[in-house]
Amino acid sequence: MTATAPAREAAPAVVVHRVTFGRVLRGEWIKFRTLRSTVWTVVITAVVMVGLALMMAAIVRTMVDTPEMAEGMSQDPGLQAIGLTGTTIVSFGYSFGALAVGVLATLIVTSEYSTGTVRSTFAAVPRRLPVLWAKLVVIVLTTAVVVAVALVIAFVSTTPLLEDAGMSVDLSDPEQVRALVGCVLYLATVAAFALAVGTLMRHSAGAIFTIVAIFFVVPLIFSIVVQASDAAWTDWVNKLLPSVAGERIISRGAETDALLDPWVGYAVLVGYTVVLLVAAAITLKRRDA
C-alpha cells in the first residue's frame, strides 16, 4: 500500500475591503496623528499662541500705568491698522499660527513624495482624489480645533489682565465675535491653501518657501511700496494679496478704502484657495507619482 499524501491546509481567505472615502479619511488621520513631528507642531502652535496673547496682555496692563508707552502704542501704524482691542490681544499669535499650520499642511503632502510612500498610498487608492480631499479634511479640522482651543485658553488666561486694563473682550459684541471666529476661519483656510501649494509643488523646501513668501514676505514688501508710492495700482494689489485680504476677517481696525471689508477680504482668500485646490486636483490626476 502506498502512503497517502498529507492534505494541504487551505489558505486563509483574504478579505478585500472596498475603498471608501471613510476608510481613506481614517487612513490619513492615522498617518497624521502617529507622526511625532505633527503632534509636537500642533502642541507648540497652541502653546505659543497662548503665550503671545499673555505677553501682549501683560504689556497692555503695564501700559495703563505708563502714559508714555500708551501714547507710543496708540500712534503705532501697525496697531492702528489691526485695532488694539481685547480680541486683538487674545488672537495676537495668529501670525505664528499661520506659519506653523502652513508648514504642517505642506509637509503632510510633500513628505510622502520625498519618502516615496505616496506610491503605496496611490496603489491603495488608485483614484487619487479621495486622498487629497481626506488630507484636506484632516488638516482643516485639526487646525480649526487647535486654534479654537488656543483662543479659549488665551481668553480665559488674559481676562484678569485685560479687565485691569479696561480692554476686556465683550462676547455680546458681534464685531468682536467675528474677529475671534475669523481667526479660526483664517488659519483653517491658510492650511487648505498650503495643502494645495504642497500638492502642486511636491517639494518640501519649495512649498514652504512659497508659503512664507506669499503670506509674510510679499505683504511686507508691498506695505513699503504702498507708503512710498502714490500709484493707485499698488493699493489695489496690496489689498488683494491673500494674507492682507484674509486677515481682514480678524482685524478690528478702522475701515479704510485701502483695505477690503472683513468678509469680502476673507472671500478673496477663499477664492484663491479654491482655485489652487482645483489646480492641485487636476495635476494630481494627470502627473505620475
Identify the band that residue 192 occupies on the pLDDT scale cut at 50, 70 and 90: very high
Residue 85 scores a pLDDT above 70? yes
Q: Which of 202, 222, 243, 234 is nearest to 82 (CA)?
A: 243
Q: Kindly state the DSSP code that residue 129 receives in the 8-state scheme.
A: H
Report the 10 Å Cβ neighbour count for 116.
Answer: 9
The whole-model pTM stands at 0.87
pLDDT of residue 177: 92
What percent of the chain has pLDDT above 70?
85
- Nearest residue to 112 via CA among 124, 100, 101: 124
pLDDT > 90 in the chain, percent: 55
Q: Answer for the pair 38, 140: CB distance below 8 angstroms, yes or no.
A: no
pLDDT of 19 higher than 80: no
Q: Report the pLDDT value the prediction gives residue 1, as an integer from 0 to 100.
A: 46
* Amino acid residing at 248: R
* Rounded CA separation 114/172 (Å): 49
The 8-class DSSP code of residue 215 comes to: I
* Rounded-to-integer distance, Cα 18 and Cα 277, Å: 26
User: Which grid cell sits at 93?
Assistant: 499669535
How many CB atoms are located within 10 Å of the residue 16 CB?
6
Question: Considering only CA atoms, which of 206, 226, 258, 88 is closest in space to residue 158?
Answer: 88
Instruction: Give mean pLDDT, residues 105-116.
Output: 91
Ramachandran class of 260: left when φ > 0, alpha when ψ lies in -120 to 50, beta otherwise: beta
